[in-house]
Amino acid sequence: MKTTSFTPHNVENVLCLDEELIDRDMYYRCQFLKVFLHFTEEDIAFIHEHMDFIRKITPTVVNGVHRKILAFDATRKLMLGRLEGYNGEMFTDPDDIVLESPNVVERARIFCATFIDLLASNWDEAYINGPIAVGLSYKWGNKYIDIPIFSSHGANMRCQTLYVENTLMSDLPNDVKSRLAVALTKALNIFTDLTTMSLLNDYDLPPSVEAEEIQLGSSL
Domain regions of the chain by residue span: 40-219
Higher per-residue confidence, 163 vs 87 = 163
pLDDT in tens, 43-52: 999 999 999 9
Long-range contact set of residues 141-144: C-beta below 8 Å, sequence gap at least 24: 141/84, 141/85, 141/214, 142/82, 142/84, 143/84, 144/82
Instruction: Please tell me the CATH code under which domain 40-219 is placed.
Output: 1.10.490.10
Task: Out of 29-38, 76-85, 120-129, 148-157, pick the least confident.
Answer: 76-85
Is the pLDDT reported for residue 10 higher than 60? yes
